[in-house]
Every structure is written in structure tokens, then in C-alpha cells.
Amino acid sequence: MTAYSNGVEIACDGPDEETACPNSAAVRARFGSLTARQVRADGRKDGWTTRRVPGHLRDVCPTCRTR
Ligand SMILES: [Zn+2]
């Protein structure tokens, strides 16, 4: 058994549909957060948001959110 698991990675989808995130940011998951839902909850504490667009969710980091 490994010491820790990366679980899922929630990466920033950028400030808008055409622009890639300048920071290539990803949520740092807390210990024990393994599912996408748990990791998104971690991200919200750091200012991450999700935007619902047709077909999928976009994850937006705190930097992109303010643009
Ligand atoms: Zn971003």
C-alpha cells in the first residue's frame, strides 16, 4: 500500500473557453480527499469555483476567477 494516493486531480480550465490557465494550476487535495467531489470541496476552501457549461463542469482557480 502506498503512503498516499493522488486520487483525482482537479486542474484549472482557464478563465474562459478559449484561454488556457496561465498558471496551469491544480487543486491541492487534502489528505483523504480521493473523489472529484471531495477534491472540489478542498478547492472551494482555497477560492476555486466550478462553472457549469453545457456538457461538463469547468474548474476555475482563484487567479482565473477574478479575470
Ligand atoms: Zn486558472
Q: 9-67, pLDDT tens digit by residue?
A: 889 998 888 888 987 778 888 888 889 899 999 999 999 999 888 888 899 999 998 76
Q: What single-letter amino acid sits at 53?
A: V
Distance 31 CA to ligand 1 centre (A): 22
pLDDT category, 2, cuts 50, 70, 90?
very low
pLDDT value at position 28? 84
What 3 state SS string does 3-63 have?
CCCCCCCCECCCCECCECCCCCCECCCCCCCCCHHHHHHHHHHCCCEEEEECCEEEEECHH
Distance CA 16, CA 11 (A): 14
Distance 56 CA to ligand 1 centre (A): 17
Distance 13 CA to ligand 1 centre (A): 6
Distance 8 CA to ligand 1 centre (A): 17
Going from N- to C-terminal start, the domains of the chain cover: 1-67
Distance 66 CA to ligand 1 centre (A): 10
pTM (2 decimals)?
Answer: 0.75
pLDDT category, 3, cuts 50, 70, 90?
very low
Grid cell, residue 64, equals 482565473
